[in-house]
């Protein structure tokens, strides 16, 4: 299985995002793309040859960062939805039927707009929009009222480095859920679409950049895939009744920032595509499709237990103390620790004067990741420190109880 590259644009400064669909309805695949530093939005008209036509839609779209192709207005023409970080903008661009696009600004105060996705969040048949604002630290949904007027609802604020947001069916209630990642916290989490409950996945993977959702293990619910920049990691997270289990495909993909899942070789199982600085890799889930000595991921059926599927062990390379989440909190928060080996662990909470106020753990833990809950019901609002001791490893972090 091999690919031959064909250059469409070269030296296009800050090329950031591309999506593919039949924009003009002629049966050939077209594409839309943006370049952050060139401040451009373009579409690329496929014509059945190796020489597609590049059409500039906007040449002064400041900090063009993301683009998605979708029929927003239900007229069977493919429209565009975009994010621009320097313009603090979320817009949709109506395809007028002759591949001329009219821009409609949805939000011009979405500070540092980083990513957008288009999905029917509320199940009413109209396409809504999800957005992540990196510098503004905000996640929002924009609900389409049926006439392409969008109402913004802020899902979360003060999420410094809000990187990515999308939706999938993450449990069995047949209601769409919203999942997201925050680079600076770091944090991967999801909101239950039925209950609006916030569910924690992990805060231990440095600089998560992008997520995807796909049923990797054929259990009829979506698992998560993660590209983590600082960790150089592409991983998939097996979704179980109790939590998500981490399976690392690679920890050597420099500046890992893109991850997608799909059946790329048409053999009936799920493959993974990851991209980083100067590198794009496939991980094919069939042993006969081993290319470039890629590590192989072989999902196993759920055995009824709550164990990780076959893959890399869920054990960190180093000792880790994660940022508590949520933070600030009232009154409950969770703290995650990572142990590369079995160890006696002491986890203690102190007030700002250094007085011990709670002992959350004091005993033997197996190697792997462990989550401990802290209840501040009986404490006053303020800044607290939590400190872990595990062998020679000692670390502490701050958390804020806000009542």
Position 315 scores a pLDDT of 63
Lowest mean pLDDT among 51-55, 123-127, 176-180, 222-226: 51-55
- The whole-number pLDDT of residue 207 equals 92
- 3-class SS letters over the chain: CCCCCCCCCCCCCCEEEEEEECCCCCCCCEEEEEECCCCEEEEEECCCCCCCEEEEEECCCCCEEEEEEECCCCCCCCEEEEEECCCCEEEEEEECCCCCEEEEEEECCCCCEEEEEEECCCCCCCCEEEEEECCCCEEEEEEECCCCCEEEEEEECCCCCEEEEEEECCCCCCCCEEEEEECCCCEEEEECCCCCCEEEEECCCCCEEEEEEECCCCCCCCEEEEEECCCCEEEEEEECCCCEEEEEEECCCCCCCEEEEECCCCCCCCEEEEEECCEEEEECCCHHHCCCCCCCCCCCCCCCCCCCCCCCCCCCCCCEECCCECCCECCEEEEEEEECCCEEEEEEEEECCCCEEEEEEEEEECCEEEEEEEECCCCCCEEEEEEEEECCEEEEEEEEECC
Of the pLDDT bands very low, low, confident and very high (cuts 50, 70, 90), residue 320 is confident
Indicate whether 19 pLDDT > 50: yes
Average confidence (pLDDT) over 114-139: 96
pLDDT at residue 254, rounded to an integer: 85
Residue 2: predicted pLDDT: 55
Q: So what's the pLDDT on residue 3?
A: 61
Which of the four pLDDT bands, split at 50, 70 and 90, describes residue 54? very high
pLDDT at 285: 62
Give 50's pLDDT tier (boundaries 50, 70, 90). Answer: confident
- pLDDT tens-place string over residues 210-228: 999 999 888 888 999 999 9
Say what the pLDDT of residue 250 is.
83
Position with higher pLDDT, 268 vs 43: 43
For residue range 289-315, what is the model confidence (pLDDT) as tens digits?
333 333 333 333 333 333 333 333 356
Per-residue pLDDT, 309: 36
pLDDT in tens, 62-111: 999 999 999 999 999 999 999 999 999 999 999 998 878 999 999 999 99
Average model confidence (pLDDT) for the chain?
86
pLDDT given for residue 223 in this prediction:
94
């Amino acid at each position: 299985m091999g690919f031959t590259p064909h250059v469409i644009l070269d030296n296009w400064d800050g090329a950031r995002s591309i999506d593919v669909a039949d924009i003009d309805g002629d049966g050939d695949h077209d594409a839309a793309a943006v370049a952050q530093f060139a401040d451009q939005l373009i579409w690329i008209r496929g014509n059945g040859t190796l020489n597609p036509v590049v059409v500039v839609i906007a040449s002064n779209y400041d900090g063009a960062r993301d683009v998605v192709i979708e029929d927003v207005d239900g007229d069977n023409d493919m429209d565009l939805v975009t994010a621009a970080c320097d313009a603090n903008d979320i817009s949709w661009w109506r395809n007028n039927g002759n591949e001329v696009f009219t821009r409609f600004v949805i939000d011009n105060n979405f500070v540092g707009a980083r990513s957008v996705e288009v999905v029917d969040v509320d199940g009413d048949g109209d396409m809504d929009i999800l957005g992540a604002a990196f510098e503004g630290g905000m996640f929002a949904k924009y609900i389409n009222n049926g006439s392409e007027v969008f109402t913004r609802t802020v899902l979360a604020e003060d999420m410094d480095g809000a990187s990515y947001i999308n939706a999938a069916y993450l449990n069995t209630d047949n209601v769409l859920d919203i999942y997201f990642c925050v680079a600076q916290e770091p944090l991967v989490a999801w909101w239950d679409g039925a209950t609006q409950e916030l569910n924690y996945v992990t805060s231990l993977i440095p600089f998560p950049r992008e997520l995807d959702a796909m049923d990797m293990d054929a259990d009829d619910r979506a698992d998560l895939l993660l590209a983590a920049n600082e960790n150089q990691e592409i991983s998939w997270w097996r979704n179980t009744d109790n939590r998500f289990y981490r399976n690392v495909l690679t920890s050597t993909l420099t500046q890992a920032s893109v991850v997608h899942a799909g059946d790329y070789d048409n053999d009936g199982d799920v493959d993974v595509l990851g991209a980083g600085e100067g590198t794009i890799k496939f991980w094919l889930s069939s042993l006969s499709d081993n290319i470039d000595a890629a590590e192989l991921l072989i999902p196993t059926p759920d055995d009824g237990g709550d164990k990780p599927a076959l893959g890399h062990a869920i054990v960190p390379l180093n000792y880790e103390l994660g940022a508590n989440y949520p933070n600030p909190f009232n009154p409950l928060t969770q703290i995650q620790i990572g142990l590369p080996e079995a160890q006696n662990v002491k986890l203690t909470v102190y007030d700002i004067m250094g007085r011990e106020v709670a002992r959350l753990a004091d005993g033997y833990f197996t190697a792997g990741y462990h989550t401990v809950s802290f209840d501040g019901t009986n404490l006053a609002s303020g800044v607290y420190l939590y400190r872990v001791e595990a062998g020679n490893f000692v670390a502490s972090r701050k958390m804020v109880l806000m009542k």
